[in-house]
Structure 1
Amino acid sequence: MKRLALFLITACLSAGAMAADVIKAERKEVFGDVTVHYNTFNSTFLTPDIANAAELIRSKNQGVINVTVIKGGKPLMAQVSGTVKDLTSKTVTLTFRQVTEPGAIYYIAQYPVDQQETRTFEIKVQTGDKINTINFNQELFPGQ
């Protein structure tokens, strides 16, 4: 599983280099002493082995969102939830799954990508009693 975490991080960064207009290499929000890193990309950026290990569907019509919560330089457990909305306001609930490995905790979810369009994401990250919300827009493209 450590290989999976490393690959997901690498996929996010390399995908950003390969498609700068599609994926930003690093996205983060800082809430006091908690930093939330997040990224979204098409699941075809994952190799079949990594997608299988992460229990993700690898398809040109599936996106992946990856969220990591850090406090004091260490991964922090959190409750992560969210939605993704298209231009017609059709909303899909994101079902995040926690993946825990030595030295890493991250949350992954998938969503459909049927056509090229800009989507609005709302991600809620709860640590203790505090809930922080991240809103961002992302132009998405079905994969090859």
Structure 2
Amino acid sequence: MTPLARIALGIALLAPAAPALADASSGTEKFGDFLVHYNALSTRSLNADMARQYSIERSDKRGLINISIQKVAADGTAAAVKAEIRGEATNLTGQKSPITIREIPDLYVSYIGLFDVSPPDTYTFALSITPAGADRAYEVRFSQNFVAD
């Protein structure tokens, strides 16, 4: 697993499960046999080497969302799966920022998305996630505060 995926997923996995409209920076939601892990943060908080490795601009005006999807087997084990993901971030005044989502190539399937932010503000994320093998898309919504440094 890449360092970015390891850190971001670690943050998501340590957080308690969050309801769809919770004000949280990270969470996990269950949809049938699928677990969706997510978190959002300012790219300013990324390590400089990590940001350079993944061509991510470190800035208070850029946000990053990390998403991973797992399918839970009957025995309780979970395996990462690929997914089609679309999303946008909306601030408190209703301005929308599309999220450009890309897969992070590694042994572990993880996705990152970049979007513009104008702190201080709260952003609501609306994600449509279709895991491989699923017969429909799942909707994830959560909010995150972005503060000015």
Assess if the C-alpha contact under 8 Å between 1:7 and 1:50 holds in 2. no
Shift of 1:93: 1.1
Shift of 1:40: 0.2
Q: 1:51 to 1:141 in 2, by over 3 A?
A: same
Looking at structure 2, the residues matched to 57 and 107 of structure 1 have their Cα atoms a distance apart, in angstroms, of 17
**How do 1:64-103 and structure 2 match up within 5 A?**
64-72=64-72, 73-102=78-107
TM-score, length of structure 2 as denominator length: 0.80
Over residues 7-58 of structure 1, what are the superposed CA-to-partner deviations in whole Å (9 max), with x where a residue is unaligned?
3335x36xx8xxxxx964x401100000000000111221111011122111
The farther-off stretch of 27-36 and 125-134 is 125-134
Q: 1:51 to 1:119 in 2, by over 3 A?
A: same
Aligned to 1:121: 125
Give the AA of the match of 2:125: F
Give the AA of the match of 1:135: R
Aligned to 1:109: 113
**How do 1:123-138 and structure 2 match up within 5 A?**
123-127=127-131, 128-138=134-144
Looking at structure 2, the residues matched to 7 and 115 of structure 1 have their Cα atoms a distance apart, in angstroms, of 23
Over residues 50-95 of structure 1, what are the superposed CA-to-partner deviations in whole Å (9 max), with x where a residue is unaligned?
0111221111221110000011211100001101111221111111
Shift of 1:4: 3.4
Q: Percent identity?
A: 26
Looking at structure 2, the residues matched to 23 and 57 of structure 1 have their Cα atoms a distance apart, in angstroms, of 23
Aligned length: 133
Looking at structure 2, the residues matched to 54 and 23 of structure 1 have their Cα atoms a distance apart, in angstroms, of 25
Give the AA of the match of 1:77: K
The CA RMSD measured in Å over matched residues stands at 2.0
Assess if the C-alpha contact under 8 Å between 2:9 and 2:68 holds in 1. no
Unaligned runs of 5+ in 2: 16-22, 73-77
